Structure 1
Amino acid sequence: MAPVRISPPTMRDGRRQPKKNRSIGPPVIAPLGGNSMATPKLTRDQAEAHWRKTSSLMWTILFIWFLASFGVHFFAVQLNQIVIFGFPLGFYMAAQGSLIVFVILCYWSSTAQNRIDEEFGVAED
């Protein structure tokens, strides 16, 4: 049996009919449950304090990320003199250690940012 090809609806002169209900602009996504929940408004001082803590966390995580991804490899020759589980430390950090640090950083970043958001009353569920 041959597949059936369905053509789009056309007008009398052969042009395609325009799609209906085409909205202009970004889609509006309602929260689950259908009821709209208002975002709490922060004062300027609260917003600046929230950003200060968030920015501090971000720079701390970026510094640790930089050390784990680049700093260890810059000193790989010196680190290879230290042996862990029979492997040189430089090799171990390149193969597994950096990945472990990245996973820990992701978890720490998420929990620390949630704590900051809860402190300022802008946490998500």
Structure 2
Amino acid sequence: MKLTEHHRAYWRINLLLTLLLLLIWFGVTFVAGYFANELNGVQFLGFPLGFYIFAQGALIAYLIIIGVYVMVMNRLDRRYRVKQRH
């Protein structure tokens, strides 16, 4: 099957979205982890900020990443008229 420019545009946007969300995931997971000692110097609701980010904040960020991906891909599918095959 030969890809048209329509297909290429769809996949280009899909890959850019995936790359952007993976960079955010990397930042939340590894960059924040790298600075955990510095973050622990700040108190938030009686807990060190580093602990709070990894106990609650990272999980919330992951859910937001998933939600953004679903919303953007649904819009992209409608825009490019992509239908699921059964």
TM-score (normalizing by structure 2): 0.87
2:62 matched residue in structure 1: 102
Question: How many residues get paired?
Answer: 83
**SS of equivalent to 2:41:** coil
Q: CA deviation at 1:85?
A: 1.1
Q: 2:50 aligns with which of 90, 107, 110?
A: 90
Distance in 2 separating the partners of 1:100 and 1:46 = 35
5+ residue gaps, structure 1: 1-42
Task: For CA contacts below 8 A with separation 6 or more, give which structure has more relative contact order.
Answer: 2
Aligned amino acid, residue 62 of structure 1: L
Rate the CA distance shift 1:123–1:87 in 2: closer, same or farther, 3 A: farther
Secondary structure of residue in 2 paired with 1:81: coil
Bigger Rg over Cα: 1
* Higher percent of residues as helix: 2
The within-5 A match list for 1:7-18 is none
Percent identical among aligned pairs is 37
1:81, 1:88 within 8 Å by CA — same for their partners in 2?
yes
Unaligned runs of 5+ in 2: none
Q: Which runs of 4+ in 1 moved over 3 A?
A: none
C-alpha distance after superposition, 1:84-108 (max 9, x if no partner): 2111111101111100101111111
Q: Is the contact between residue 80 and residue 89 of structure 1 (CA under 8 Å) also seen in structure 2?
A: yes
| SS of the residue 1:61 aligns to | helix
